Amino acid sequence: MDYSLVTEVYERIEGTTKRLEMTDYLVEFFRRTPKEIIDKVVYLTQGKLYPDFMGIEMGVAEKLAIKAVAKASGRRESEIEEDLARTGDLGETAQKFLEKKKQLSFFKKPLTVERVYQTLDKIARVSGEGSIDLKVNLLAGLLADASPKDAKYIIRTVTGKLRLGIADMTVLDALAIAYGGGKGAREIIERAYNISSDLGKVAKAVAEGGIEAVKNFRISLGNPIRPMLAERLSSPAEILEKLGGKCIAEYKYDGERIQAHKSGDNVILFSRRLENITSQYPDAVELIRNHIKAREAIIEAECVAVNLDTGEMMPFQELMHRRRKYDIEKAASEYPVSLFAFDALYVDGRDLTLEPYPVRHEILEKIIEQNDRFQLAKYMIVDNTEDLERFFEEAVEAGCEGLVCKSLGGDAIYQAGARGWLWIKYKRDYKSEMTDTVDLVVVGAFHGRGKRAGTYGALLLAAYNHENDTFETICKCGSGFTDEDLQNLPKMLEPYRIGHRHPRVNSNLEANVWFLPKMVIEVIGAEITLSPIHTCARDLIRKGSGLAIRFPRFTGRYRTDKSAEDATRVDEIVEMYKRQLKKIEAE
Ligand code: ATP
């Protein structure tokens, strides 16, 4: 097929803003395209060579493209650059210079789509020494044989500036009309796309085999499934009403969503945007490889950095280290990720996406060999607003964003690629910062694991209630301690150790070790939040809830100058909480 047919449709599409017109142009164009190359043509209309998840980019920097244009047009690079400064579009500049040249040269045989595709593919793949020159030569060769107009679009394509604005859904519509017998086929074609994320593959199937071939489209390992997304509501009552009075509420972990594809020992991880991020999470790959009992599986999980010694979840930012190639190993050893799995989409040849969630959840539970680092997302089946609210507070305090509440209905399929009401997120719509430090009393401790074996993993801290002369727990704190602190803590606390909870300490948590309320330490946190667990200011703000500090961290100051009764008081914490709310309302 002549590449000029492609540029012709690009021009027509650029000339319209109406989606329906755009669709018509594409339909006509797809019908003229030989079926063997329909996939490639579809990628090209999107300015690509492959579906995104394959991660193959054209990789031509503007500088390199300028060299190629100079070479093909017989001009100096500086001339090209000057003109580019005027037009702001290297495609246009290329067209202009090649027009001038072509008037002087002989007619050449037209460029084919196949040749353009193959050459661009080569350009994308060459690497290593001498690759820049090779890319320039390949591109210049193509431009030399191209018509000026073709050259414009080739340049825009390789530099990533072909912005035709054709949405995936427009391509699907056009395919349905061109090959599927009409718009009615769109739903079936769309499903094929949603389970494969590959427009070219879908186009080929429908062009070659008609709608029947698309009906038989199957999930395949290595092709990411477009993620199901949640709607949002802001009250437990609305959520329960929407989900028929009962739902499964799950912690909404604040990490990175991954879709893991496992085939034997081979594991691929895709991000929420369907990029291949396998290399960023060698630790997650290991977990999937070793602890999924099925031979083949596609599951979804949230990847969270957890401090293994204390079990505390780290804020989302911790995962950012994984973006830089050289930090991955270090990050993976310092804060390996834990996985919280929340869906199973495919297991040993069985497509689960059309099964209701309770079925998928049960299968998920069966195939995962759970351990400290690989668990199901914490969940609770709820049918009343109190439980839902309480579970929400628990999730936030544990470092999560809130809850995702999911339908238990028979129709609760996995809606690939859609944001729907089968999943409803319940998040707080504010984030606030705790600016002041607080001085808290050490009333208990929990044994450490891993590097912290033999010392404490976390301390149980309390504020002072001066009206009742009691100590009310407000957080478990395991962060901010240096190795030296950790080594010294058991010794420092030994004099206060007792065999049971002190009668002046109010706690719902069972610590491993209890202390006389004596030692005071300075702590800062992310914010003060409602808590179903801690006893600080219990029932004062909301019935059944206390207050807690989220992401607490020891500042390094032991307040030996303070007695336990001088510690931050419960009423001060309540004030801090209220100020925080006021600040949010004012914003
Ligand atoms: P957000 O910024 O709120 O994460 P989003 O558009 O990325 O929004 P939503 O569909 O609105 O995604 O919210 C669901 C997201 O929450 C998922 O993409 C996933 O990353 C995350 N998540 C954490 N825990 C769960 C869980 N138990 N079930 C489903 N999703 C979860």
What pLDDT shows up at residue 195?
97
How confident is the model over 409-454, as pLDDT tens digits? 999 999 999 999 999 999 876 556 787 899 999 999 999 888 888 8
User: How far is 515 from 493, CA to CA, in rounded Å?
Assistant: 8
What pLDDT shows up at residue 103?
61
Band of the pLDDT at 587, cuts 50, 70, 90?
low
- In this structure, the residues whose C-beta lies within 6 A of any atom of ligand 1 are 229-230, 250-253, 257, 272, 302, 342, 377, 404, 425
178 in Cβ contact with 27 (< 8 Å) = yes
Ligand 1 pocket test target in 253, 256, 313 with most atoms within 8 Å of CB: 253
H helix or E strand, kind and range, residue 185: none
Average pLDDT, the chain: 92
DSSP structural state of residue 349? T
Specify the ligand 1 atom closest to the Cα of 230.
10
In this predicted structure, the answer to whether residue 571 has a pLDDT above a threshold of 60 is yes
More confident residue, 475 or 562: 475
How confident is the model over 58-117, as pLDDT tens digits? 879 999 999 999 999 999 999 999 999 999 999 999 999 998 876 656 656 789 999 999
What pLDDT shows up at residue 271?
94
Amino acid of residue 363: I
DSSP structural state of residue 309? T
All structural domains of the chain, each given as residue ranges with its CATH number in brackets, are 229-426 (3.30.470.30), 438-586 (2.40.50.140)
Question: In the structure encoding, which two tokens stand for residue 465, read together?
Answer: 């209630």
DSSP structural state of residue 361? H
Average pLDDT over residues 558-576: 91
In three-state form (DSSP H/G/I as H, E/B as E, the rest C), the secondary structure along 323-384 is HCHHHHHHHHHHCCEEEEEEEEEEECCEECCCCCHHHHHHHHHHHECCECCEEECCEEEECC
CA of 302 to the centre of ligand 1 (A): 8
Average pLDDT over residues 469-493: 94
252: annotated active-site residue: yes
User: How far is 324 from 249, CA to CA, in rounded Å?
Assistant: 34
What pLDDT shows up at residue 432?
62
CA of 427 to the centre of ligand 1 (A): 10
Which region, left, alpha or beta, applies to residue 551 given φ > 0 means left and ψ of -120 to 50 means alpha?
A: left
* DSSP calls for 426-473: EE-S------S-EEEEEEEEEE--GGGTTSEEEEEEEEEETTTTEEEE
DSSP structural state of residue 109? P
Residue from 152, 252, 406, 427 carrying the catalytic annotation: 252
How confident is the model over 523-558, as pLDDT tens digits? 999 889 999 999 999 999 988 999 999 999 999 999
What pLDDT shows up at residue 106?
60
